[in-house]
C-alpha cells in the first residue's frame, strides 16, 4: 500500500501554497487565484495522481480541479480502496465519472485482477475512455456505458451543474435539466460470472440512485462472495425511509457500517495529511455521508 504521507505530492506551486505560513483562509484564496489564472490560459490540463495515473482535467469542473491541484480525490475513500483491494481482486466502480477511482483500482488489482467501470452519461463516458486509454488499462479495465437499475429499461439522466459533471443524476426530484435517456440494467446482468466470483469491492456513487442498486444487490446477495465490501454515498435527504430500511437490511445481512471522512472544500484538502480511522456507526446518518459496509473487520494497514 502507498504510504499515507505520499497522498499529496502536488506540483510545485500547489505544494508551496499548501505550506505557506499564512492563515488557512489566505492559502485557500491563493489556490483559488492560481486556479483562475490557469483557467485564463486554457481550461484543460493533464494531471498526475499520487498513485501515478494521468488524468485530463478541466479546471472548470469541481472534481477535476481538485484532482489537478492535489493529485487525489476523496483521500479517505481512496485509502479504503487501497486497503481493501489486492492483486487478483475485482472492483466495480458504479458512477465512474472520469475514472479516478477506476484507475486507482486498476493499479491495486494488477494484471490478474479486473475493474468494471460503469458510467451512465455518454458525455462523461467518453472522458472516462480517454483517461483509460492514456493509462493503457485495456488489460484489466472493462468500461460500461449503462446505468445500474433494479429493472431493465430506459432511464432519464439530468444535469445538475455544468461545473460538476459528476453531479448528473437519474433522480428527477433533485431538479436539473434533462440531458438524455440511457439504458439501465441490473448489476447481475452486467457482471460476468468470473467477475462476480472474484468481486471484492463495489463503490456506488450515483447521486441519489443508490437505493435501487442496493435493494437489488440485497435481493441477490447469495450470488456474491461473502468477502464483498461496499462503499456507498448515502443521501438520506432524498428518501429517509428508504435509506433507513436499507441500512437495517444491510445490518441484518451481516454488514457493519463505518463512516468514511469526506469533505468537498479546498480548506479541508489543504489541511489533510493522512487518513482518519474509520468510525463504526449503528444508526443511519441524518445527512449525506460516505459509508463503508463490510462483513469482516476493516483493514487499517
Residue 116's domain is classified under what CATH number? 3.40.50.150
Domain presence at residue 14: no
Q: Over the chain (301 residues), what is each successive 10-residue block's mean pLDDT?
A: 48 76 91 91 92 95 94 96 97 98 98 97 96 96 96 92 87 88 96 97 94 96 96 95 97 97 93 91 96 82 44
Question: By C-alpha distance, which of 59, 1, 4, 2 is closest to 277?
Answer: 4
Domain presence at residue 80: yes
Domain that holds residue 197: 74-262+278-294
- Distance of alpha carbon 58 from its chain centroid, rounded? 18
Question: By C-alpha distance, which of 81, 142, 140, 82 is closest to 110?
Answer: 140
Domain presence at residue 28: no
Domain presence at residue 17: no
Domain presence at residue 12: no
CA distance 69 to 168: 23
CA distance 22 to 28: 10
Domain presence at residue 243: yes
What total number of domains does the chain contain?
1
Domain presence at residue 194: yes
pLDDT at residue 12 in the model: 66
pTM, two decimals, is 0.93
pLDDT at residue 3 in the model: 43
CA distance 196 to 114: 11
pLDDT at residue 241 in the model: 95
CA distance 171 to 199: 27
Residue carrying the nine cell digits 499564512:
22
Domain presence at residue 18: no
Amino acid at each position: 500500500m502507498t504510504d499515507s504521507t505520499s497522498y499529496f505530492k502536488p506540483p510545485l506551486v500547489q505544494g508551496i501554497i499548501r505550506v505557506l505560513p499564512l492563515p488557512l483562509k489566505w492559502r485557500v484564496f491563493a489556490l483559488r487565484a492560481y486556479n483562475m489564472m490557469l483557467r485564463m490560459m486554457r481550461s484543460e490540463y493533464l494531471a498526475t495522481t499520487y498513485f501515478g495515473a494521468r488524468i485530463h482535467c478541466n479546471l472548470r469542473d469541481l472534481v477535476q480541479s481538485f484532482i489537478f491541484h492535489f493529485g487525489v480525490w476523496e483521500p479517505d475513500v481512496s485509502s479504503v480502496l487501497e486497503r481493501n483491494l489486492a492483486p487478483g481482486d475485482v472492483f466495480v466502480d458504479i458512477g465512474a465519472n472520469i475514472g479516478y477511482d477506476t484507475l486507482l483500482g486498476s493499479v491495486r488489482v494488477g494484471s490478474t485482477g479486473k475493474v468494471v467501470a460503469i458510467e451512465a452519461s455518454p458525455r462523461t463516458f467518453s472522458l472516462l475512455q480517454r483517461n483509460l486509454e492514456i493509462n493503457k488499462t485495456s488489460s484489466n479495465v472493462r468500461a460500461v456505458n449503462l446505468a445500474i437499475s433494479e429493472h431493465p429499461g430506459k432511464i432519464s439522466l439530468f444535469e445538475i451543474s455544468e461545473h460538476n459533471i459528476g453531479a448528473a443524476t437519474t433522480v428527477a426530484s433533485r431538479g436539473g435539466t434533462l440531458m438524455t435517456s440511457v439504458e439501465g440494467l441490473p448489476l447481475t446482468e452486467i457482471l460476468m460470472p468470473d467477475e462476480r466470483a472474484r468481486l471484492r469491492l463495489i463503490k456506488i456513487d450515483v447521486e441519489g440512485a443508490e437505493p435501487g442498486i442496493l435493494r437489488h444487490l440485497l435481493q441477490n446477495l447469495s450470488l456474491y462472495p461473502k468477502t464483498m465490501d461496499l462503499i456507498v454515498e448515502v443521501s438520506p435527504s432524498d428518501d429517509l425511509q428508504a435509506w433507513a430500511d436499507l441500512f437495517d437490511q444491510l445490518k441484518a445481512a451481516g454488514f457493519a457500517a463505518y463512516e468514511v471522512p469526506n469533505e468537498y472544500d479546498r480548506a479541508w484538502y489543504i489541511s489533510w495529511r493522512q487518513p482518519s480511522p474509520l468510525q463504526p456507526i449503528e444508526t443511519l446518518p441524518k445527512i449525506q455521508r460516505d459509508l463503508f459496509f463490510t462483513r469482516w473487520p476493516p483493514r487499517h494497514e
